[in-house]
């Protein structure tokens, strides 16, 4: 199974007879255009009957023809880019390869994948090369005929241009776009060919009006986090190293939990207790991998900065031990993401969004209740920190500051959820909460690293090389903790500014 990140732009050219793609000067020099090549492509798209994958911007197809024929799974990433995973063509026209099917399990959840659309494309390709002959990008001029495979066999035809980056800089796309616009092309509003065929059947969920009630603020935010969780699920399954996908998925779960707590007065607590417990379980499963990712990357950076450790590091055994723990944790997480318990958590999030267990207070206007919820969460941060800073240095102080950090996260997420309704005051408070959280996090990360290094140093059979590198890192982490303590004061001064809370009430 192969994969790569696809960066492309699409343009509509209906009514334009000729689009000139000629040699031009690009951002890094002269760009030449190959002679055109024409191909015929046939792609069968599969999805659930409810178009679950397409609704989340995912396409799964079996393509015949062209150099990349086979199964293609495209997962949305940043705007204008998608992660594409491929598998061989196989013999079954609609039998999805098992490894691709696993990547969409969180979306499909046992529902049948069926053919929904067939696309027949006549594609004319021109490759753009730099002065060394390297392919910078490909321009595909497509004439497309799409046919629905449901009861009414609807069909649609159109012409479009795709410009896909190969080995060139993104600026190449800008240059090509300027030339296409001169020929009458305009950016396509459709995210994919499939979306164009499905049309209104792929209408997005109706947007919640965040200014209407305090309850809609909560649900709109939870829905955004649900979508983030689902978007990162397949990337977590694909990852074999720290690519930030585990972190982003974990943060989405934590944000939901935080909002359940800070908005508890809106909810029937008896009905969300089990829901919150399962979210906590999922965050913990993700956290095991994430914590090891952070430690491994942290120690790698530390050692890379120490030129005098190279000889000792070559003989050290503990880095391999830590890396092995991370690999085992990742394997266990992938097993967890295939369990009924995990799918039940996803279903519970969907159920909460569809029918939240609200009290009457949830119907109160956002302008009356939401500022109170944001302010209350922030006052908890200030209170916790005021107590923690007067404790003597030691374990009790460490626990108090860690509790303050968690409260700062909750306050940040609560303010973020309120930002669409409350605007700048909520956004500024969220930013200050993030700064305080990061300052406290820097300190906490150093403490966690010290504990991990101490644990590694007490393993039986410690070698001289291990003792040397672990001792060096322990000294570095002690210095880092002291630096973090020093940085707390200015972060606290900004966070304690009373103007932050006054602005919420204005």
Cα separation, 261 vs 259, whole angstroms: 5
Architecture of domain 2-202: Beta Barrel (2.40)
Average pLDDT of the residues in 315-336: 90
**pLDDT surpassing 80 at residue 208:** no
Cα separation, 29 vs 130, whole angstroms: 7
62-72: b (≥16 Cβ within 10 Å) or e: bbeebeebbbb
Nearest to 337 by CA among 223, 222, 238, 227: 238
What pLDDT does 1 receive? Answer: 47
Residue with tokens 């065929």: 197
Domain 214-505 class in CATH: mainly alpha
**pLDDT surpassing 70 at residue 152:** no
**pLDDT surpassing 80 at residue 150:** no
Confidence of residue 308 (pLDDT cuts 50, 70, 90): low
According to CATH, where is 2.40.320.10 located in the chain? 2-202
Q: What is the pLDDT of residues 248-296, one digit of tens each?
A: 999 999 999 999 999 999 999 888 999 999 999 999 999 999 999 999 9
User: pTM of the prediction?
Assistant: 0.87
Q: How far is CA 112 from CA 27, 229, 430, in A?
A: 47, 22, 42
**pLDDT surpassing 80 at residue 28:** no
Q: What is the pLDDT of residues 360-408, one digit of tens each?
A: 999 898 888 999 999 999 999 999 999 998 899 889 999 999 999 999 9
Cβ within 8 Å of residue 285, ≥6 positions away: 332, 333, 336
Confidence of residue 131 (pLDDT cuts 50, 70, 90): confident
Q: What is the pLDDT of residues 221-230, one digit of tens each?
A: 999 999 999 9
Q: Contacts by 396-404 with C-beta closer than 8 Å and gap 24+?
A: 398/447, 401/440, 401/443, 401/444, 402/440, 402/444, 404/436, 404/440
Check residue 459 and report its DSSP letter. Answer: S
Is-contact 146 117, C-beta < 8 A?
yes
Q: What is the pLDDT of residues 225-248, one digit of tens each?
A: 999 999 999 999 998 777 899 999
Burial class (CB in 10 A: 0-12, 13-18, 19+), 424: exposed
According to CATH, where is 1.40.20.10 located in the chain? 214-505
**pLDDT surpassing 70 at residue 462:** yes
Start-end of H helices in 8-130 = 52-55, 98-103, 105-108
**pLDDT surpassing 90 at residue 78:** no
Is-contact 141 123, C-beta < 8 A?
yes
């Amino acid at each position: 199974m192969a994969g790569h990140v696809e960066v492309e732009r699409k343009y509509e050219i209906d009514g334009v007879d000729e689009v000139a793609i000629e040699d031009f000067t690009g951002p890094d020099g002269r760009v030449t255009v190959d002679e055109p090549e024409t191909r015929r492509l046939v792609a069968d798209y599969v999805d659930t009957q409810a178009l679950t994958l397409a609704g989340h911007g995912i396409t799964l197809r079996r393509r015949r023809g062209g150099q990349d024929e086979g199964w293609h799974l495209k997962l949305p990433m940043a705007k204008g880019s998608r992660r594409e995973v491929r598998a061989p063509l196989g013999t079954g026209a609609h039998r999805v390869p098992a490894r691709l099917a696993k990547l969409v399990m969180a979306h499909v959840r046992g529902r049948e994948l069926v053919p929904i659309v067939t696309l027949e494309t006549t594609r004319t390709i021109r490759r753009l090369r730099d002065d060394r002959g390297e392919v910078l990008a490909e321009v595909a001029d497509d004439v497309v005929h799409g046919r629905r495979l449901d009861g009414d066999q609807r069909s649609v035809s159109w012409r479009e241009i795709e410009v896909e980056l190969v080995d060139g800089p993104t600026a190449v796309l800008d240059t090509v776009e300027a030339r296409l616009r001169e020929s009458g092309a305009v950016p396509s509003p459709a995210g994919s060919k499939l979306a164009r065929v499905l049309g209104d059947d792929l209408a997005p969920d109706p947007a919640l009006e965040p200014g209407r009630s305090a309850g809609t603020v909560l649900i709109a935010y939870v829905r955004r986090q649900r979508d983030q969780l689902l978007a990162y699920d397949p990337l977590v399954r694909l990852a074999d190293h720290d690519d930030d996908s585990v972190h982003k998925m974990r943060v989405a779960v934590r944000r939901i939990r935080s909002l359940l707590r800070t908005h508890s007065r809106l909810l029937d607590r008896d009905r969300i207790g089990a829901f919150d417990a399962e979210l906590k379980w999922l965050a913990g499963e993700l956290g095991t991998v994430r914590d090891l990712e952070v430690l491994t990357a942290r120690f790698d950076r530390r050692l890379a900065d120490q030129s005098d450790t190279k000889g000792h590091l070559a003989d050290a055994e503990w880095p391999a031990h830590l890396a092995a723990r991370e690999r085992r944790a990742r394997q266990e997480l992938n097993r967890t993401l295939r369990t009924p318990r995990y799918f039940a958590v996803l279903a519970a999030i969907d159920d909460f969004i569809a029918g939240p267990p609200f009290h009457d207070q949830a119907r109160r206007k956002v302008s009356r209740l939401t500022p109170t919820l944001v302010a209350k969460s922030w006052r908890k941060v200030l209170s916790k920190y005021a107590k923690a800073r007067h404790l003597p240095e030691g374990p009790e102080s460490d626990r108090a500051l860690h509790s303050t950090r968690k409260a700062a996260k909750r306050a940040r997420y609560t303010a973020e959820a309120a930002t669409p309704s409350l605007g700048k005051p909520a956004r500024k408070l969220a930013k200050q909460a993030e700064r305080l959280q990061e300052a406290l996090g820097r300190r906490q990360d150093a403490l966690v690293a010290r504990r991990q290094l101490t644990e590694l140093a007490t393993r039986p059979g410690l070698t001289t090389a291990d003792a040397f590198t672990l001792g060096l890192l322990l000294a570095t982490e002690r210095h880092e903790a002291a630096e973090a303590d020093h940085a707390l004061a200015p972060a606290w001064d900004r966070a304690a500014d009373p103007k932050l809370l006054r602005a919420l009430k204005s």
